[in-house]
Amino acid sequence: MWAILAVLVIGGIFWYTHRPGAGSSAAASASKAAGPVPVVAGTVEKKDVPIYLDGLGTVQALNTVTVHTRVDGQLTKVAFTEGQDVKNGDVLAIIDQAPYKAALAQAEGRLAQDQAQLANAKLDLQRYIDLVAKKVISSQQYDTQKALVSQFEGTIQNDTAAVESAKVNLNYTTIVSPLDGRIGIRLVDQGNIVHASDQGGLLVITQLHPIALIFTLPEQNLVQIHEHTNKGETLQVLAVDRDTRTTLDKGELTVIDNQIDTTTGTIRLKAIFDNPQYQLWPGQFVNARLHLSTQKDGLTIPASTVQRGPNGPYVFVIKEDQSVEMRPVKVGQIDNGEALIEDGLAAGEKVVVDGQYKLQPGAKVTVGPAAGKPTAGHSDAPPQGSGEGHKPGSELK
């Protein structure tokens, strides 16, 4: 009997302490007893906010040329140094010219010989005109001489072509740069015999100024990009280092690929950069930021203000009576520690930047100074954030 009574008493106590609302009432009482919660506040600001589309890209040379010899012979001179910047037409190497000079002289001699024969044949033809008119010779002899003149004229044309070919081959012994660029590591040393049929070249020249960046974006961004390019707008692209803060260079979008990669659901784009300081290098991986547009009079708050709940993002708004309200918001993007709010807030409203973990709707707060503001590093452009927050119209969840 006493055991049953004891069980009932203990069960009653357990039910009373765990009944619905008991915990929240206790928490509310504790919160009220504890007084206002100290928080750090911020203000909803209105300003112009740039909208970026972020992707990963690879730097590529605008042009890369492997320089080959076009004639056979010994490499008698290497006129460049590895890593040298060259201009279009600069001499890079010289092939032994002696055989080609001799071939040119031979072709010119054959041309002179045949020109002399042609001149003599023309003189005879002129004499034959008078003789055939006086019927001293037959018309057949005249026709034969006329054909001989035509034959020598054809020979002269062949000889002239042979002279030009010899000159071309002689010019090919001097190898010049086909473009402005930088020379890589030398592939053939001076003194070697080189051939026009060799698979490997003498050197590789890479154009670094200007330079290209190939990057990818999700296919759903293609419509947004076309909305601007179809109006004739030139879209700016930022090349950002892997630290997501340092802008290496600024360029322009020049090409949108003509098809979407079905395996990844992405579209390739190409941007051109002047690259005056050679901050971009072929093969380098960088973050590409396509400046799509600028949101005029956008509402912004510190990114730390935005909290995430089961129903989406929300912020704590400080009301005039110093109590807080939990308000759902729609976030357009988060960039450089700043969130662009598309819906849910108004300019000038006070929001809780720090201290949210102690809050619940209706709680009283007291606003204090921040414990310490992080110092942002130098950057020419807003750094890249993470996730879907960078895509215009996307909503944090």
Among 271, 291, 287, 70, residue whose Cα is nearest residue 174: 70
The CA radius of gyration of the chain, in Å to the nearest whole number, is 41
Tell me the β-bridge partners of 181. Answer: 86
User: What is the separation of C-alpha 336 from the centre of its chain, rounded to a whole number of angstroms?
Assistant: 22
Q: Which amino acid is at 133?
A: A
What's domain 97-172's architecture?
A: Orthogonal Bundle (1.10)
Q: What is the mean pLDDT of the chain?
A: 84
pLDDT in tens, 221-243: 999 999 999 998 999 999 999 88
Sign of CA dihedral 110, 112, 113, 114: positive
Domain boundaries, the chain: 97-172
Helix axes 98-133, 139-172, angle to 10 degrees: 160
Q: Which one has a higher pLDDT value, 386 or 84?
A: 84
Rounded to 5°, the CA angle 81-82-83 comes to 115
- Encoded tokens for 239: 């090349």
Residue 390: per-residue pLDDT: 45
The two beta strands, 236-240 and 365-368, are: unpaired
Instruction: Give me the residue label for tokens 């062949």.
Output: 158
pLDDT in tens, 184-223: 999 999 999 999 999 989 999 999 999 999 999 999 999 9
Among 77, 92, 69, residue whose Cα is nearest residue 197: 69
Among 288, 322, 315, residue whose Cα is nearest residue 396: 315
- Encoded tokens for 145: 């001489």
Q: Structure pTM?
A: 0.69
pLDDT in tens, 68-91: 999 999 999 999 999 999 999 999
